[in-house]
Amino acid sequence: MKSALIAGITGQDGSYLAEFLLDKGYKVYGMRRRTSTPNYENVQHIKDQIEWISGDLTDLASLIEAVRISDPDEVYNLAAQSYVAASWPQPILTGNITALSVTNMLEAVRIVKPTARFYQASSSEMFGKVMEIPQKETTPFYPRSPYGVAKVYGHWITVNYRESFDMFACSGILFNHESPRRGLEFVTRKVTDGVARIKLGLQNELRLGNLDAQRDWGFAGDYVKAMWLMLQQNEPDDYVISTEETHSVRELLEVAFSYVGLNYTDYVVIDPKFVRPAEVDLLIGDCSKAKKKLGWKQEVSFVQLIRMMVDEDLKRVQAEARYMNVMALS
């Protein structure tokens, strides 16, 4: 039985990856940071199948212990301060967690189990003010946020450990990927949650920032398979994972609102609070290397993804509203 250590298992990708590896028969160790209120929402359904280890990305001793306990064949570093907008008000925290702590993870692996295969969650946000359309593995980086800058560090330190210590370290340059488990502050989920609330009469407007930004949005469940595939190859390498399509926030609104029979222009309000100090205007990835070498391809289209998210949010918001009504009557 193979074993895997996942840092960031409570997040969107960590939860899908854990499901995927459990299905493949892996022993899955999940590293989570201690919090006063436990946050198992995304992994509640598989919580008992996971071996839990307490650790924080900023604490090397805890990472060394996590690698020692799990003795992993594969290590997936998905943990990060992952919200771009939060990286301006908290640039140092973002640098400590999203950049420097990648070295902590790599050091823990190098010291305790240098033969383990390592995956680093790199990001299309590194392309920022894009130097080439579409973006591929060789496109130069031009990050536009403290988060993007931090991810560039994480990417290069992963490449550096591969080249310096002969470690099997891969960097997956993943374009935006979403799901019903996406955090509520990210634009897709903010929209699908807003659509559900508006449709159910619980909200009458949705406040957003730049509607012209374009992203290459895929389904997280498809993308975790690519992470695993990277670690099954004969040689470590870096890969772009994307859908090769781009859509604006405006198109996202059209798809989500029209699905429930509404017109987004009746509800969306532009709020400068959500406009970023520097924007990434357009992302679209060329993932031909991953298609060819990994045999990876996306299964869920953009429209299917957004409709899936709206459906799940309608169910959840309806259940919450019913519960509140029962509580109010009791």
Under 8 Å between Cβ of 208 and 315: no
CA atoms within 13 A on the CB side of 206: 31
| Whether 137 is catalytic | no
Strands (E), the chain: 3-7, 27-32, 51-54, 74-77, 117-123, 169-174, 177-178, 206-208, 214-215, 218-219, 238-241, 247-248, 268-270
Please identify, using beta-carbon distances, which residue of 96 and 203 lies nearer to ligand NAP.
Answer: 96
Please identify, using beta-carbon distances, which residue of 58 and 248 lies nearer to ligand GDD.
Answer: 248
Instruction: Answer yes or no whether residue 180 interacts with ligand NAP by CB under 6 A.
Output: no
Please identify, using beta-carbon distances, which residue of 64 and 85 lies nearer to ligand GDD.
Answer: 85
Of 16, 147, 223, 259, which residue is the catalytic one? 147
State residue 74 phi and psi, 5-degree precision.
Answer: -135, 140
> Residue 154 CB, nearest distance to ligand GDD (Å)?
11
Instruction: Answer yes or no whether residue 103 interacts with ligand NAP by CB under 6 A.
Output: no
Alpha helices in 200-292 (DSSP H): 220-230, 249-259, 288-289
Contact set with ligand GDD (CB under 6 A): 82, 84-85, 123-125, 175-176, 185-187, 190, 208-210, 213, 215, 249, 274, 276, 279-280, 283
Footprint of ligand NAP on residues 23-42 (CB under 6 A)? 33, 35, 39
- The residue within the footprint of ligand NAP, chosen from 183, 212, 258, 323 (CB under 6 A), is 183
In eight-state DSSP terms, residue 176 is: P
12 binds, among ligand GDD, ligand NAP, none (CB under 5 to 8 A by kind): ligand NAP
| Whether 178 is catalytic | no
User: What CA–CA distance (Å, rounded) separates 121 from 172?
Assistant: 6
Cis before 134 (ω within 30): yes
Instruction: Answer yes or no whether residue 190 interacts with ligand NAP by CB under 6 A.
Output: no
| Whether 123 is catalytic | yes
Of 62, 70, 87, 123, which residue is the catalytic one? 123
Instruction: Answer yes or no whether residue 79 interacts with ligand NAP by CB under 6 A.
Output: yes
The terminus-to-terminus CA distance of the chain in angstroms comes to: 51
Name the one range near ligand NAP by CB under 6 A: 54-62, 66-74, 278-286, 288-296: 54-62
Both tokens of 225, joined, read 């398979």
Residues forming the active site: 123, 125, 147
